[in-house]
Amino acid sequence: MKKSFRLPVPFAALAALAAVLLASCATRSRPEVVSHAESAENAESVCREGPVSAPNGVAVPLTGVLGMLRTGLVEDRPDALEMLLPHVAEAGKELATVEAYPDADEVSLFEWEGTRYETNGTYTTTWTSLTRILTQRGLENNRTFSFWNNDFYGSTTVLVARVFSPGGVARDIDLAANLAEAIDTGSLASNIHDPNDKTFTLALPGLQVGDSVALVMRRETRRPRCEGVYSDYLTFESDHPILFQGVRITGPASMPLLSRAFRDAGPVSLEHAASTNEEAGTITEVWTAGETPRYFAEPDMPPAYDCTARLLLSTAPDWESLSRWYARLCAPHLAATNEAMALKVAELVASATNSATGGPASREAVVRALFDFVSREVRYMGAMAESEAPGYEPHDVSLTFDNRYGVCRDKAALLVAMLRMAGIDAWPVLINVGPRKDPQVPQPYFNHAIVAADSGDPADPYLLMDPTSETTRSLLPEYLCEMSYLVARDEGEGIRETPPLPVEQNLLRAETVYTLHADASADVTTTLSFAGVNDAAYRGYFASIPRDGLRAFFERVLQGIPGAVLTGWEVRPAPEALRTSAEPLSVRLDYAIAEAARGAEDGRAALLDLPTVPAALAIASRVVGDLGLEKRRFPLVTDYPCGWEETVEIRLPDGVALSPESAAERKSE
């Protein structure tokens, strides 16, 4: 809920600080030139002059903070913003209250982020926040604070953790006693172990409703994700109100921010200013936002960071430059082949015959043979750290081939190398499983790697393949439809999007034969044919559980049909062949219903309850989500265009007829 209010001192002074800051950073025909040394001396002298006395008697040393914000000293002097925190906390007692924000559990009084980046793409960010707790739920939300870090790329340090009580008492949290570090285990479910991934949890003991929590953190990168590129993704909304928010970014004038975009502004009004310091050879850009109301999460919305107000920045000139970067990164690892690989490629090509004629292998058959080998014979597992760009850089393809294991980028690189050895042009691909990339702001942030082979069609030049899954039938799994991808080519390639999948290719089809007997019992057979995402989802699951587990699963499926008892079942291909067979997945269920017709007495009309199985199994039943909102701010995400279709054949005993209004076919999409 957006609320209007008069800013009391010192918040009025804080707003004035932002205004002066913007004015000082505004682009001029002749930029103001101030040396770093002079700025430091001036800021120190202003601070020594003592605090400013505000009309309400609160002392606020804003001039010193302003000098440091203007000159960028806050990156080197985190204590500069610390001077402001107690005064903002004092003002927050009257400004951020339950009465003023009845729909909030906490309020961010102040957030400031200062970043300085270098020509190689490394950067240092100092982040300062002050949050007031309004309710018991807000207290539970703030008892601990967690963050993640990859030690290879840099470090994240908590500089200050301080609690301001309503009585004006401030106490520092003992970081040594309350900050815990652990290896991040989030990737273990995917069979990946990276000792560089760390999680940190900061406990805030003794916290009370009404307290304000101040955090000052510093993020220092030792290595950029992409050499020579700085980029960032900044959010300006949260699930709680933010009263003042600012971002200040400084970098070398020789490497300015070449692209920027502010997306899904919603209620956020963002102010921007820029300046150039010719003597220091730097550029500075500042973005600030006033009071921002909270957003309210909606069922089945996209990730909040992708649909709320956000600022995207990058120094990369275009997507083609990132394509060339990834091609250079992969090149030496793709070239590291060995004789064993060559022999295996020759063997696979020789075994891939033309299915129609039995003659020499077609191009499609060769691609399929190589794909099946990498997807099924090379295990998905990661246990070795890369040397240059973890998360992006593949290992040598010969190492992955010999070990018979690797993560997505390793398996993708191996398939690329083997396709090339078979005479088929192929390239590694970065793809983002999740929100689409912004075509106007090139950023090197992707979370998956696949393969592109030359399709021979200029209109659709790439045949995309994902050899990650050991059970997939599709070269490109359905979950990768409508995702942004970047092909790594020496000449560069722009950002692209995988094609959508028609709903007809994502159906679960069911054919049910329903035999009703004179005693009102019924024998039923339902045959299910899984296509698209339905096949992909259940093939892997059925292959991972024992035969007894399959029977128990089908019995649970039938629990939705009153009185149904499973009498037989069959999975095709056989469970032991699910990982290797290209046969479409199908399931036959036989079951009996003791009382299928209700009210069948003295030859009168009876109600026949027709069972439906696909509704319990189809992926479509799980992706529709909650459609109950009358009005939405955010899109409804269904993940896949899919559906289910069922045909029912009813066989009646002699002397029994079906009423004309009965339906023999049902379909849902």
Q: What are the structural domains, with CATH classification, of the chain? A: 95-315 (2.60.40.3140), 321-497 (3.10.620.30), 503-668 (no CATH)
| Cα gap 164→131, rounded to integer Å | 10
Q: Locate the DSSP E strands across 384-520.
A: 405-406, 426-431, 448-454, 462-465, 484-487, 496-497, 507-516
In which element (H, E) is residue 82 found? Answer: helix 79-82
Q: Which residues have C-beta within 8 Å of that of residue 336, sequence separation ≥ 6?
A: 396, 397, 398, 399
Per the listing, tokens 């259940």 go with 538
What integer pLDDT is reported at residue 33 of this predicted model? 28
| Cα gap 547→236, rounded to integer Å | 51
pTM for the predicted model, two decimal places: 0.76
What integer pLDDT is reported at residue 20 of this predicted model? 34
Please give the structure tokens belonging to residue 363: 């191009």
User: Is there a contact between 561 and 512 (Cβ–Cβ < 8 Å)?
Assistant: no
What integer pLDDT is reported at residue 80 of this predicted model? 61
> Quick count: other Cβ atoms within 10 Å of Cβ 4?
5
What integer pLDDT is reported at residue 62 of this predicted model? 39
Q: Is 335 helix (H, G, I), strand (E, B) or coil?
A: helix
Rounded mean pLDDT for each run of 10 residues along the chain, 669 residues in total: 30 38 32 30 33 35 44 53 78 89 94 93 93 96 90 90 92 95 67 73 95 94 90 94 91 96 93 92 91 91 92 97 96 96 94 64 90 92 59 90 92 97 96 92 93 90 91 82 95 94 85 89 93 85 87 91 92 87 90 79 64 82 70 83 87 74 45
DSSP string, 507-571: EEEEEEEEEE-TTS-EEEEEEEEE-THHHHHHHHHHHHS-HHHHHHHHHHHGGGSTTEEEEEEEE
- Any alpha helices (H) in 576-662, and if so which ranges? 614-617, 620-623
- Per the rule left: phi > 0, alpha: psi between -120 and 50, beta: everything else, 326 is alpha
Q: Which residues have C-beta within 8 Å of that of residue 603, sequence separation ≥ 6?
A: none
Q: Locate the DSSP E strands across 18-105.
A: 52-53, 59-60
